[in-house]
Structure 1
Amino acid sequence: MVNNPKNIYSKIINKFNPKDENQANDLKKILNSYPFFQSASAYYLKTLKIQKKDAYNELLPKTSLLTVDRKVLREWLNSNDEQNSSKNSTTEKYSFLDWFDIINDEVPKVEKKLNLIDDFINKSPKIKLSNGEKSQKEIIIDSKIKDELITETLAKIYVTQKKFNKAIKAYEILSLKYPKKSSFFADQINYIKKQKIKD
């Protein structure tokens, strides 16, 4: 059992240094006593990663199971690498006038791109109908419903749309198609004719 694990863990959190071997050993002892201690497991995992120890690959799946949000764990484990890379990158400091010059240099580039887009739009060829393509009137004529496609449902739709002539024609075609139902279709035609007179 670790001597006073609360104090040791508090010291580790306050002055966490993943490169410190003593902290790694203390975290390992705490985890031996409390194997499901999630935050201690995460801290120990980070020390193993920074110190490039083989135990990192063994502890990673266990810690990820204990973690509520694995994305947060991954970001935290990789945060030190990103901080180091951001420290290494040099940021240039500019005065107000320098920024003004930089922005003015970028404006012509944007204007050039916009001009290219405008030129393309103005010069782009328009799509024209060739003589071989059908006009809209021809398409409407060709789109008339063929006799094979007429159904009882279509005839009912014609009636509800008050297209009585089309409905009568549809029922006539159906009565020729289905002679056994011809008496039913004849009744429907009579009903439609009565509706046509009322309207």
Structure 2
Amino acid sequence: MTRKDFYRYIDRPALLTAATLPELARIVEAFPCFHAARMLYLKNLALVGDLRLKSELERMAIHVSDRARLFLLLTDERFERSPHAADAPAHHPEADEAQGARVEPFESSASTDYLRWLTVDTPSVPSPEPKMRHQDLIDSFIAHGSERIDKHRLQRAVAEPEAVAPPPSVTPKAESTDTSYFTETLAHVYIRQKRYAKALEIIRGLSEKHPERNIYFADQIRFLEKLIEHSRNKSGK
């Protein structure tokens, strides 16, 4: 696989086939810190329906620096259509979107557009502990796509109280980062389900808990408020 081929697969993951899988596996083995190659390899496993996807995802997820992008890459079909592809049609909607400033989307595509917007503007998050809390929920969402995750499991995960005193071997800041990351991931799940009010509640809570990221969360809050207002106006017609 040449460098040109690799960049092409980054732009258009849908081009990955069973023939590219062994090549990506060799690249990942030769360059274990090459995060982009790991993400393409996992995407390739998903596209060809390889039975190794679950075990490889569990093994490699802790080595991927941007789990939010990996999460979307595996769950969102629209992520496969890059707005920078050279052979995109002249009037392709996503190519038009890439040419101008960010435009407020219609509700029909708002949730997926918002999640893609987050992958561009989200600041890098420090790598959490090797074993994420509630990893089974994220695995379940990846396995079942946009199907609704059990409501009671989500409520328990969101409402789970923080430990009063972490064990001596666990850094409190690292534990807080892990919890906040997972909570923000739950907000993304609610957005995909168009449950914007619940997502807004979670983001506001994170904003209060992390005042140093107020600007980042303020943008998300304003966006969600617009989605809620648009949804109400649409249902009132």
Q: Which has the higher contact order (CA 8 A, sep 6+)?
A: 2
Structure showing greater radius of gyration is 1
Same fold (TM over 0.5): no
Give TM-score scaled by structure 1 length. Answer: 0.35
Give TM-score scaled by structure 2 length. Answer: 0.30
